[in-house]
Structure 1
Amino acid sequence: MARHPGRRSRYGAWQGGPDPLAPPYDVRSAVDQLGEEVLAGSSLRDALRDLLHRGPDGERGHGLDDLHERARRMRREALRRGRLDGTITRAQALLDQALAAEREALAQRADDDARFAEAQLDALPRSTSRAVQELSEYDWTSDEARADYQRILDELRDDVLGQRFEGMRDALQGADPARDPQAAAALQSMLADLNELLGQHARGEDTTDSFAEFMREHGEFFPEQPQDVDELVDLLARRAAAGERLMRSLTPSQRAELAGLMEQALGQAGVAEQMAALSENLRALRPDLSWGRGEQGRGEEPLGYGEATGALAEVAELDDLLDQLGQEHAGATLDDVDVEAVERQLGRGAADDVRRLRELERELRRQGWLSGSAADTVLSPKALRRLGSTALQRVFARIESASRGTHDVQSAGAAGEATGASRAWEFGDEQPLDVVRTVSNAVRRNASAAGGAVALAVEDFEVVETERRAGAAVALCVDMSFSMVSEGRWGPMKQTALALSHLVATQFPQDALQIIGFGRYALTLSAGELAAAEPDFVQGTNLQHALQLARRHLRKHSDGDPVVLVVTDGEPTAHLLPDGEAAFAWPPRAETLRATVDEIDQLTRYGAVLNVFMLGEDPSLRRFVDAMARRSGGRVFTPSAHDLGQYVVQDYLRARRGRRPGR
């Protein structure tokens, strides 16, 4: 390779946005993490929120929680920069310095005017702002004292105008609007035009041309070059709000001091009224900003007006970021996060983290794992299949080794036991081929062929005849009452229902499964609705309503074997009244038990198998389910929450093999 002595390579951080070499988030891994949370009992909304907050596995420290904590630390550091009353202490120091120089000059004079001037100085109020006001007409003897006094007003005026208008100092080019009529006229003209422009905007008028004209005439005051009135309002309002927050951060006496000093400093320049009107206009246009919130500076160094308002403006932006990164308000999404503000405050790496989290959320939708709106996100059928498969694998992993296996059913449950007979194959047949009869037909047909070669033809094929196996109508009733959440049974219940749903959908499609959740009321649920379901903290266990819905499902699928599986951890405490409202009582009332038993009897007369999976060891629940089993001829299982899925799936598979309880 040729060498180029004069050429050097320089390396540095990538400056063109997100690092193109950064590994992308593993979307499938993210889906599995969402599934873990859902199977543990979380809703999809909470699971997705947790994923984004902690960051995907392998990316710890790159989630919203980490960014939130960094923003909180920076907020604390901004408030530790110094004391917010530095403007007042600076004015007091300059005033003391001016008075000392003036007293020294007066002491060198022996006339009565000097003694009178000393008496005037002695009579000055203790308030800095009031003393400065009274000295506005004082005839200074000392030039040094006069200069120090004028610095109080000049520095404060320059700080206030420089803080509100970034290009003020450059635009005025060192001119003093307090003593330069031309500079004062330029400043007053800009403020008057600005207030007129904001007034038009507040009235809803079209300000396109007015804004363009304003920027042509006064653009030197705004080096940020806002593109429209909204940008201009946002720019100025945030700075005005920072100034107001400074006032609110001071004690009442300090606030009065600073307000008095500002009134005199801006009044000298002839802009006090225009500045007050500007603040009112901006506040009306942007009432959402933190105008009235005060802060407590914790540093030792006194901060000037510009430094103090700058720190408070930074705190305000960090407050907005903390709210955006917290994602606590209803309908919050990552699109709410101001990435440019993140980059300004937390750095480019943090901004890239937000962009990558946004990309992950978009990829989950683009690849078909999530569907629905941002406010109503649900797992897609694709994600539910993956989630159900995971749940089923976990269930099978707990089943005894003798029962383990793939549980594949090649005919998807379409056929039963072989009858011993066969028939000619027809297009669409799913029965297994009868290989012996198929080959025998070909041999007989080709017996006279030369060379003994055997060739299969379509008419040679025969299939094994099987008994047609009836499907099952299965109602899985799952308790969704408050106690299931408080006792840690919500997640296992979800996992069980999703596992059974996936098993039926993939291996026994001729079966009709209906999931029914019940609390104070019962309702039918799809697998997706169950996965997204959140706990209902209303008390009530309305088994009667659940069995009523189960009976409707069984009658709708009357050609299938009726099976009802009930998962509960509490005896019935609610039932439906004739008007459809639920009546709740604890301890259970006799009317509730009678209504529930009536539904059990109707299911029994219909021929349904009714098995109960009892969670918990409540004696009254035990008595009820035992009586329920005796009345219906069903069985009672008492699994732990950890083993619930194994028990339910095994019982279902046992029923599919024809070994029904009691037979």
Structure 2
Amino acid sequence: MADPRRRGRRWAYGPYTGGPDPLAPPYDIRSAMDEIGRDVMEGSSPRQALQELLRRGIDGRRGLDDLTRRIWERRRELQRDNRIDGTLQEVRELLQRALDAERETLGNDGSDDARFREMQLDALPSDTGGAVRELGSYDWRSSDAREAYEEIRDLLGRELLDQRFQGMKQALEGATPQDVERINEMLDDLNDLLDHHARGEDTTERFAEFMRRHGEHFPENPQNTGELVDALAARAAAARRMLNSMSPEQRAELAELAQQAFGDPRLAQSLARLDAQLQGLRPGEDWTGDGNFRGDNPMGLGEATRVLEELGRLDTLAEQLSQSYPGARMEDVDLDALAEALGPEAAADARTLAELERELHRQDLFRRAPDGSLLLSPKALRTLGQSVLRDVADRVAARQGQRETRRAGAAGEATGATRPWEFGDTQAWSVPRTLLNAQLRRAGGDDRVLDVADVEVVETEQRTRAAVALLVDTSWSMVAEGRWVPMKRTALALHQLISTRFRGDDLSLVTFGRHAQTVELGELVGMEGVYMQGTNLHHALLLARERLARQPDATPVVLVVTDGEPTAHLERDGEAYFDYPPSPHTIRATVDGLDRLIGMDARFTFFVLGDDPGLAAFMDRLARRAGGRVVNPDLDGLGAEVVADYLRKRRG
């Protein structure tokens, strides 16, 4: 809104110049379809082409490959920088501090009791867990030693609980015996709730009562027992994976120490029962994996478990981003988890890819085949055809100085004569005749600038319909020599031109390798190259004659695209005969098929790919026999040559 204090000023509006247009769509559907179409024409299935587009990204957006790479980098970073024996290391340091303080106190005491106590300390088990257990009944003389030992028990209890309950480590710092008792009560109630849930009982009331009494320990705020199990099982599975990452000696040491948590073995027993119940309720969680940590940063049990949880989320994200499982969709990607792992920009890129995939499906650019696979829809083929035809038209215009396809849809050719406009006429106005009539009328005293009676239109003659057969070589050499995609683009461009601007014409697409077949455009675009020798132009000419014979009122046009001499022909029994070098029988059969089309007054053009002199000489003989012509285009210009030749023949 304009500032009211500036009402007298003039304002100028222009293009936005502050960077990318903030109102522009985040993706270009046409560009996406061009990329998908290119991959399909190179032999990918539409599903593979869509996945490849999502992997690469589009319009500057990072694709799935880049996002997945960053996920694995984050995973390697966590494993490379950390190790999981932080709690064991801290316990050892506290134990050593307690023993040093106690020995110092005993050393200053010359009594026999002090010597006896020193012998007790010397006889402690060598492993940390056994030493902490033996010291459970020791009467400490040093207050510093007693404090360090109690800190061991407190640390173990808080770490064990922090593995399974978020925020418990901080909440229980300096826990009193009453706090420990309440925790044991919570675990008993929790195990009882899960026991009833596992038996299939309705636990709605039990869950509500449990949350009323112990809800402060569950910041996730689960709404029912199932959600509570989901939250606990994920952490418990991560805790199991953390244990699996330890050496057998470390696991044994930790199990021994767990019995001393808070000086009460009930905690370890309740947690073991809880883990067993959660594994039974959620067997699909990863209970057997490990973290394979190898860094220098020691982590406590709770911190290590959280890192294992993060690794689990990263693994899930990597699977979602892979899109390799049946029925995978970009909507499966957890954007919140992705933003937490890689930042909001990564989530924005994934969201854009999901919107692109959804829009491609919404616009019906794919259709589902009976076998469940994806195919390009007719709309997608039209979109691809428009793009290819634009490129071809640009080449035609550049070569001839005009864009022939822009005037290709008129009803007929101008005769040079004009006539008065009649209601229903769609011909172009003759501007000079119309203006002259208006001037003559005004000279007679009529002051109207223009009247409908002044209008004259250009006379035209109806064009002749054309029945076009495009015969394309699909032998293996077309694939091996990089001619596969240009051939398909040519068919797309010609099909788009005829279907949109010459709707009265008929186009047949005939492929020929060892055998020939008449195909639809979608079949040709999605056709994969197959290693099979044979160039059966004879069979293709027979199919073309059969199709053109159904259009007796149309001018037959035959366009042949090939890169090899005929090396196969169709026998009477329908089998293909192959021989190389070309057999005289194959040559005679091919010429016979050509002569049958010549008898229909067909107009021929042979587009010869490559620089094989033998092929060029053979096609030149065929062209002279048929009164046609031979064109030797480069691959980039193939489509333009075919379209221009079609337009030339159509104009006679």
TMscore range, shorter length:
0.7 to 0.9
Alpha-carbon shift at residue 553 of structure 1 (Å): 3.5
Residue number in structure 2 paired with 1:254 = 250
SS of 1:564's partner is strand
1:465-502: CA deviation from partner (whole Å, max 9, x where unpaired): 73x54322223244456554453333322322222122
Distance 1:439 1:516 in 2: 51
Residue number in structure 2 paired with 1:509 = 503
Residue number in structure 1 paired with 2:334 = 338
Does residue 1:390 correspond to 2:391, yes or no?
no
Could you say if the C-alpha distance between residues 144 and 27 of structure 1 is closer, same or farther in structure 2, counting changes exceeding 3 Å?
closer
The residue type equivalent to 1:553 in the other structure is: R
Find 1:407's aligned residue among 394, 404, 409: 404
Could you say if the C-alpha distance between residues 79 and 402 of structure 1 is closer, same or farther in structure 2, counting changes exceeding 3 Å?
closer
Does residue 1:310 correspond to 2:341, yes or no?
no
Distance 1:154 1:109 in 2: 33
Could you say if the C-alpha distance between residues 238 and 28 of structure 1 is closer, same or farther in structure 2, counting changes exceeding 3 Å?
closer
CA contact (8 A) 1:55 1:64 kept: yes
Could you say if the C-alpha distance between residues 409 and 304 of structure 1 is closer, same or farther in structure 2, counting changes exceeding 3 Å?
closer
The residue type equivalent to 1:192 in the other structure is: D
Residue number in structure 2 paired with 1:476 = 470
Residue number in structure 2 paired with 1:553 = 547
Distance 2:476 2:275 in 1: 53
Gap runs ≥5 in structure 1: 3-20, 659-663
The residue type equivalent to 2:394 in the other structure is: A
Does residue 1:500 correspond to 2:494, yes or no?
yes
Residue number in structure 1 paired with 2:196 = 196
Matches within 5 A, 1:275-354: 275-354=271-350
Alpha-carbon shift at residue 225 of structure 1 (Å): 0.3
Range 399-408 or range 514-523, more displaced: 514-523
SS of 1:399's partner is helix
Could you say if the C-alpha distance between residues 490 and 245 of structure 1 is closer, same or farther in structure 2, counting changes exceeding 3 Å?
farther
The residue type equivalent to 1:474 in the other structure is: V
Alpha-carbon shift at residue 431 of structure 1 (Å): 6.5
1:28-56: CA deviation from partner (whole Å, max 9, x where unpaired): 84523542563575666566555555554
Matches within 5 A, 1:564-575: 564-569=558-563
The residue type equivalent to 2:388 in the other structure is: A
Could you say if the C-alpha distance between residues 187 and 558 of structure 1 is closer, same or farther in structure 2, counting changes exceeding 3 Å?
same
Does residue 1:32 correspond to 2:31, yes or no?
yes
1:264-292: CA deviation from partner (whole Å, max 9, x where unpaired): 64993424454334334444554554443
CA contact (8 A) 1:97 1:148 kept: yes
Residue number in structure 2 paired with 1:640 = 634
> What's the % identity of the aligned pairs?
44
Could you say if the C-alpha distance between residues 109 and 609 of structure 1 is closer, same or farther in structure 2, counting changes exceeding 3 Å?
farther
1:600-659: CA deviation from partner (whole Å, max 9, x where unpaired): 67656666555443333467866876686678665543322112112211221232133x
Residue number in structure 2 paired with 1:489 = 483
Could you say if the C-alpha distance between residues 465 and 62 of structure 1 is closer, same or farther in structure 2, counting changes exceeding 3 Å?
closer
Q: TM-score, normalised by structure 2?
A: 0.75
Find 1:236's aligned residue among 232, 236, 242: 232
Could you say if the C-alpha distance between residues 241 and 619 of structure 1 is closer, same or farther in structure 2, counting changes exceeding 3 Å?
farther
Could you say if the C-alpha distance between residues 567 and 403 of structure 1 is closer, same or farther in structure 2, counting changes exceeding 3 Å?
same
1:82-126: CA deviation from partner (whole Å, max 9, x where unpaired): 3222222223333333444455566656648955872674462x4
Alpha-carbon shift at residue 164 of structure 1 (Å): 0.7
Distance 1:105 1:600 in 2: 114
Could you say if the C-alpha distance between residues 542 and 153 of structure 1 is closer, same or farther in structure 2, counting changes exceeding 3 Å?
farther
Matches within 5 A, 1:520-599: 526-527=520-521, 533=526, 535-536=528-529, 539=532, 543=536, 550-569=544-563, 597=590
SS of 2:404's partner is coil
CA contact (8 A) 2:188 2:270 kept: yes
SS of 2:507's partner is strand
1:355-405: CA deviation from partner (whole Å, max 9, x where unpaired): 344445555566x48454799666666665554343233223333757332
* Length, aligned pairs only: 625
Matches within 5 A, 1:360-399: 360-362=356-358, 368=363, 370=365, 372=367, 384-385=381-382, 387-399=384-396
Distance 2:569 2:110 in 1: 103
Could you say if the C-alpha distance between residues 651 and 461 of structure 1 is closer, same or farther in structure 2, counting changes exceeding 3 Å?
closer
Alpha-carbon shift at residue 319 of structure 1 (Å): 2.9
Distance 2:577 2:327 in 1: 34
The residue type equivalent to 1:191 in the other structure is: N
1:226-267: CA deviation from partner (whole Å, max 9, x where unpaired): 234443333222212221222232334334433443466499
The residue type equivalent to 1:642 in the other structure is: D
Could you say if the C-alpha distance between residues 170 and 436 of structure 1 is closer, same or farther in structure 2, counting changes exceeding 3 Å?
closer
Residue number in structure 2 paired with 1:156 = 156
Could you say if the C-alpha distance between residues 354 and 183 of structure 1 is closer, same or farther in structure 2, counting changes exceeding 3 Å?
closer
Distance 1:284 1:607 in 2: 80
1:318-355: CA deviation from partner (whole Å, max 9, x where unpaired): 33333334444454332122111123223334434433
Distance 2:403 2:564 in 1: 35
Could you say if the C-alpha distance between residues 73 and 593 of structure 1 is closer, same or farther in structure 2, counting changes exceeding 3 Å?
same
Residue number in structure 2 paired with 1:615 = 609
Residue number in structure 1 paired with 2:119 = 118
Could you say if the C-alpha distance between residues 69 and 438 of structure 1 is closer, same or farther in structure 2, counting changes exceeding 3 Å?
closer
The residue type equivalent to 1:495 in the other structure is: R
Distance 1:599 1:178 in 2: 101
Could you say if the C-alpha distance between residues 179 and 434 of structure 1 is closer, same or farther in structure 2, counting changes exceeding 3 Å?
closer
Distance 2:283 2:598 in 1: 66
The residue type equivalent to 1:399 in the other structure is: V
CA contact (8 A) 2:124 2:131 kept: no
Residue number in structure 1 paired with 2:82 = 82
Distance 1:591 1:208 in 2: 88
Does residue 1:223 correspond to 2:219, yes or no?
yes
Distance 2:514 2:196 in 1: 61
CA contact (8 A) 1:414 1:510 kept: no
Alpha-carbon shift at residue 219 of structure 1 (Å): 2.2
CA contact (8 A) 1:167 1:220 kept: no
Distance 1:602 1:178 in 2: 104
Residue number in structure 1 paired with 2:166 = 166
Distance 2:435 2:179 in 1: 116
Distance 1:579 1:213 in 2: 84
Distance 1:150 1:553 in 2: 95
Alpha-carbon shift at residue 222 of structure 1 (Å): 0.9
Distance 2:584 2:203 in 1: 71
CA contact (8 A) 2:535 2:566 kept: yes
Distance 1:571 1:268 in 2: 90
Does residue 1:91 correspond to 2:91, yes or no?
yes
Could you say if the C-alpha distance between residues 391 and 27 of structure 1 is closer, same or farther in structure 2, counting changes exceeding 3 Å?
farther
Residue number in structure 2 paired with 1:654 = 648
The residue type equivalent to 2:389 in the other structure is: L
Distance 2:532 2:79 in 1: 47
Range 433-442 or range 562-571, more displaced: 433-442
Distance 1:306 1:327 in 2: 32
CA contact (8 A) 1:164 1:239 kept: yes
SS of 2:266's partner is coil
CA contact (8 A) 1:541 1:572 kept: yes
